Structure 1
């Protein structure tokens, strides 16, 4: 009986020693990669799917896409070689609700932990236009943002642009 117990103890000790020396893994987890920013997701050429006007006083909506040449609207949100937001241009014959060109940036380059909407800031050198992002591109290449007009700090009308990324 002692022989079996001592042999069993020897096997357990041998397995323990083996596990101690081979338990550490030296798997290469790869190199550090920077997280994907909202600028990366949002930059590019975007063509309009729809434009909806909302009367903020009574929540009435009206689709403007086929009216006043909104269906020609295109916005180019460019980034520089370092991946940072740089310039933007607006093309088409739609009414000039946005500046025609200038620089753009995100108010915060990642999804906000407090669940508030991200904002695109357009600057044409005269004023800053704020676009509230309501849909961030992901699996579907759809960007949606809202431009809200205010008077004396109170919103009176908003325009929701639903856009698809143009094929390169």
Structure 2
């Protein structure tokens, strides 16, 4: 009997000691959005034009490097956000042929990276109210520790993609 009481007492003390621990997970911090990662100045590392028809039909060459042509080494783009990390305006600088509107307003199709592998879209607008969409850029790789981002501009005709431009960008600190 004495052994049972000691056993129950030992289990009770164990439960009591675990029950008194309060886990401190720290203060709430809002999750990091893609806006925080895309915000800022970006310079061109490379620009590739992809013939989507040739690529789909295994016709070579299907890609062309445009990085050194048409002043593209001067290409820079700035994505601005306000103090609440909400998108405002964007602007392309450099004396380059425009593949999309060189300035305007932007927002993302989603604030966070999707888990199904679907690319987040950068939606470009001509007005601050974001009602007149001019283009879409697909974020092919989200900026991370390496401060690089890859975006793609796809041109379609009749619902079929015929050419795309892949911009590999590096953050300007």
TM-score normalised by L of structure 1: 0.89
Q: Paired residue for 1:76, among 78, 81, 86?
A: 78
Does the 8 Å contact 2:150/2:169 carry over to 1?
yes
Query: Is the counterpart of residue 13 in structure 1 residue 8 in structure 2?
Result: yes
Aligned-residue offset at 1:128: 2.1
- What SS class does the counterpart of residue 71 from structure 1 fall into? helix
Aligned-residue offset at 1:109: 1.2
- What SS class does the counterpart of residue 11 from structure 2 fall into? helix
Q: Paired residue for 1:30, among 22, 26, 48?
A: 26
Q: Paired residue for 2:41, among 34, 45, 49?
A: 45
Aligned length: 162
Q: What CA distance in whole angstroms lies between the structure 2 residues aligned with 1:26 and 1:154? A: 58
- What SS class does the counterpart of residue 58 from structure 1 fall into? helix
Does the 8 Å contact 2:81/2:88 carry over to 1?
yes
- What SS class does the counterpart of residue 151 from structure 2 fall into? strand
Greater Cα offset, 96-105 or 69-78: 96-105
Report what 1:152 is aligned to: 158
Q: Aligned runs of 1:18-167 on 2, under 5 Å? A: 18-24=13-19, 25-59=21-55, 60-125=62-127, 127-167=133-173
Does the 8 Å contact 2:75/2:95 carry over to 1?
yes
In structure 1, runs of 5+ residues without a counterpart are none
Aligned-residue offset at 1:27: 2.3
Q: What CA distance in whole angstroms lies between the structure 1 residues aligned with 2:115 and 2:31? A: 15
In structure 2, runs of 5+ residues without a counterpart are 56-61
